Amino acid sequence: MTTDVAGLRVVVTGGAGFVGSWLCERLLADGAEVVCVDSLVTGRVDNIATLRAHPRFSFVRADICEGIPVRGRVDWVMHLASPASPVHYLRLPLETLRVGSIGTSRALDLAIDHGARFLLASTSEVYGDPLEHPQHESYWGNVNPLGPRSVYDEAKRFAEATTAAYRREHGADTVVARIFNTYGPRMSLEDGRVVTAFVRQALEGRPLTVAGDGSQTRSLCFVADTVDGLVRLAASGLPGPVNIGGDREITVLALAHTVRDLVGSTSEVDFVELPQDDPTRRRPDLTRARTLLGWEPTTPTEEGLRRTMEWIAGELGLDRERLVATAEAAGPSPRPR
């Protein structure tokens, strides 16, 4: 399917975040004009540093819950603003709920005012600790509404409900993307997500902390693939929801071993207490993405992890070349089963 965005003016909320910055970069590369809006509560100016001089890029620092001060034509609104890692949303529970509710309404209002296409970046967390496996978009989920994780899960569920209501009541041109575990360069080193934590611990020679017995699974997707799915979905005219993520399942313990081997580390594995409501299995049904978008992840896990490792090593001031040579000498890691 076509993803021609040349000439479009796209507002990306949360554009200085991890996925948001990759999305801004992709849209610019495809010929769009990009307005990045971010409060920098969890986003980083460093993530968009190389984009600031681009003639088709502009940055607006704003809390979208207070309004989105963007003037001029708007063709797409891609709404990614939200704390997205456990460390961030547990530290900012009320802010997370607020941006999922008020912030989503503000972004939808902007789209309505300009007759723009609206994409909501939702999450696999709407499925909670799923009783259905793999998770199809028709599944309603199994979420604890009172648990500590609920501030993120329910914020995104409310955002989806708001998006659907705007479509029904106002005829808004909307689509919902449900993003599964995404990883890659520019992730916050302190965000507590499993890939970042394992890579950093292995690079620093510290024990790799595995929650529970490590039998819980995740399905990883490299960020460039995730962004490609988002652009395709925005360009599709579909209403969604559509799952965007990798569907090669891997246990957390196997991931720890894979990362340790890639880094060439001798770190041990330490088992720690499993967080409350931590999902036991997570894998998307990608039938819709494959048949309707012609999309599926293409970056091999080993390649994505190596690129992430190199970036984290650079952030930590470690010798990238030595680490890459060590990883290549170790050879390809076993593929997830």
Catalytic residues: 152
**Nearest by Cα to 179 from 232, 120, 251:** 120
Q: What is the token pair recorded at 71?
A: 């003037």
SS3 string of the chain? CCCCCCCCEEEEECCCCHHHHHHHHHHHHCCCEEEEEECCCCCCHHHHHHHCCCCCEEEEECCHHHCCCCCCCCCEEEECCCCCCHHHHHHCHHHHHHHHHHHHHHHHHHHHHHCCEEEEEEEHHHHECCCCCCECCCCCCECCCCCCCHHHHHHHHHHHHHHHHHHHHHCCCEEEEEECCEECCCCCCCCCCHHHHHHHHHHCCCCEEEECCCCCEEECEEHHHHHHHHHHHHHHCCCCCEEECCCCEEEHHHHHHHHHHHHCCCCCEEEECCCCCCCCCCCECCHHHHHHHCCCCCCCHHHHHHHHHHHHHHHCCCCHHHHHHHHHHHCCCCCCC
Location of structure tokens 């409310």? 158
Q: Which burial class, exposed, middle or buried, applies to 7 when counting CB atoms under 10 A from its CB (0-12, 13-18, 19+)?
A: exposed
Q: Calculate Rg over the CA atoms of the chain.
A: 19
**Nearest by Cα to 18 from 63, 80, 103, 60:** 80
